A and B are shown apart, each in its own frame.
Chain A
Amino acid sequence: MPLAVFACALVACAALPLRTGPQSAPATDAAGAITVAGAADLQFAFTEIAELFEAQTGHRVTLVFGSTGQLAQQIENGAPYDLFVAANIEFVDDLAQKGLIVPESVALYARGRIALVVNKQSGIRAATLQDLTAAQVRRIAIANPDHAPYGLAARQALESAGLWEALRPRLVLGENVRQALQFVQAGDVPAGIVALSVANVPEVTYAPIDDALHQPLDQALGLVSTSKNPAIAMDFARFINGEHGRPIMRKYGFLLPDETR
């Protein structure tokens, strides 16, 4: 008897979401919906841009953030994304060569910068990379340089400044630049090097790092070959690079493609 009750409960549980779906597929079909895989440095800017795009077009945009390398890996494994918005063009070109990104759709949309962030309550004052060598800076957060372009830029900047070997034992690697920032925001790590575009949060002070110290962070996007809504995805791509997206990108510290030199 209890077993029967349990089985019923399981089935009821499983059936429950079926009945509670007012905003299911038919409503969105008319307008259309896309899923955008975005590099973690875009979290703030893209949340704003996507809201604006949704308000103007009626389409729905689901944002998935992660490190560029991880998102590329997911696309290789068949993730159902419509648009890939990377923090480094190399990953987009690589996928295009493998036939997973439509080559004609690849476009630069921004150049990124990195910034030094310090938790306000840490009692540490650091404005330059050299300041990170102070003994109180016991841990430094960066994104994983192996698959996160902003982590790689942080590594290159430390190498150019001749600090990489000395500071390497203090590094804490975030899965992406957003997580590296979260370590500093929470105060578990006093300082870090993250994207300038996410550095303006209440818990930290930030200072841009000279972009001559690292390879340019040329950010590119591309249409995923398996996209079921390529028209909307390309609309969104143009929106980012257009009159509505550009001011928002600029606000978050990005340089725009034709303004880099």
Chain B
Amino acid sequence: MLLNRDWTPLELSLWISGWAGLLALVAGTGLAWIFARLNFRGKWLLEGVTMLPLVLPPTVLGYYLLVALGRRGIGPTFEQAFGFSLVFSWPGAVVAAVIAALPLVIQAVKPGILDLSRETEDAARVDGCSELQVFRFVTLPLIRASLLSGGILAFLRAMGEFGATLMVAGNIPGRTQTLSMAVYDAVQASNLDLANRLVLLLSVITFALLFIALRIGNQVRHGAEA
């Protein structure tokens, strides 16, 4: 149903970025916890791989995804099982955005976990908390500032995603044409009036969110000091 509806670029950008932000936050927090707390063989390799999207050219990332998710990869199997395709559809754009945003979440959340005093968690354990309760009622609240900034960064990174998405999801009006794609399309068609409006819209949304993120981040920090 959602795959066949007609999206405006704004709706599509918010929808994709919302999903990508949420998924990247969950996965990134898990990975950050693993990297901060656990030691195992090959950890450096896993950490390196999750950081790769920061430095890889978007076209390389896009190509990997296209090969992995398309006809030559898991595409046919996936489509058979779930009834929709991961390439040239918005779920593909979500996958690209999650991978692009993952390193930002890890980098935002990992220092928060490292800074955490383990004695506080131990105290909760002594008081009879289960591991799950420790995580839910002690660890999570203590790193909420990093989670917040990680989540907003992920959302913004997803809003700005272009290169890998273009390769994996294409630029199909109503289906995969996000705001950043629409800008590219409008400039290519010499529709500068439309391009100006889209660029303004994107700039306002991203700046406003960034501003809110910084404000909340400040408040949390001051709250913690008081």
A interface with B by C-beta (< 8 Å)? 1-3, 6-7, 10-11, 13-14, 16-18, 20-21, 23-25, 28, 35, 43, 62-64, 66, 74, 76-80, 175-176, 178-179, 181-182, 185-186, 201, 203
Contacts and interface: CB of A to CB of B under 8 A. Distances in A.
A80 B88 contact: yes
Given A3-B144, A77-B66, A178 B188 contact: yes
A16 B145 CA distance: 25
B190 A64 contact: no
7 closest A-B pairs by beta carbon, nearest first, are A14-B18, A17-B11, A24-B5, A13-B18, A25-B4, A79-B88, A77-B70
Given A23-B6, A77-B88, A13 B14 contact: yes
Given A10-B155, A16-B14, A77-B71, 18 more contacts: A2-B145, A2-B148, A6-B216, A10-B22, A13-B17, A18-B2, A20-B11, A24-B5, A24-B6, A25-B5, A43-B189, A62-B173, A63-B173, A64-B172, A76-B71, A77-B70, A80-B85, A182-B187
Interface string B200-222: 00000000000000001001100
Nearest to A35: B172
B21 interface: yes
B128 to A, nearest CB: 25
B19 interface: yes
Give the interface size bracket for B toward A: 35 or more
B15 interface: yes
A179 B170 contact: no
B89 interface: yes
B71 A14 contact: no
Interface of B: 1-2, 4-7, 11-12, 14-15, 17-19, 21-22, 66, 70-71, 75, 85, 87-89, 140, 144-145, 147-148, 151-152, 155, 170-175, 187-190, 216, 219-220
A175 B167 CA distance: 14
A79 B145 CA distance: 41
A77 B173 contact: no
A25 B1 contact: yes
Contacts of B70: 77-78
18 contacts: A6-B151, A10-B22, A14-B18, A17-B7, A24-B6, A25-B6, A63-B173, A66-B171, A78-B71, A78-B75, A79-B87, A175-B188, A176-B188, A178-B188, A179-B188, A182-B187, A182-B188, A182-B190
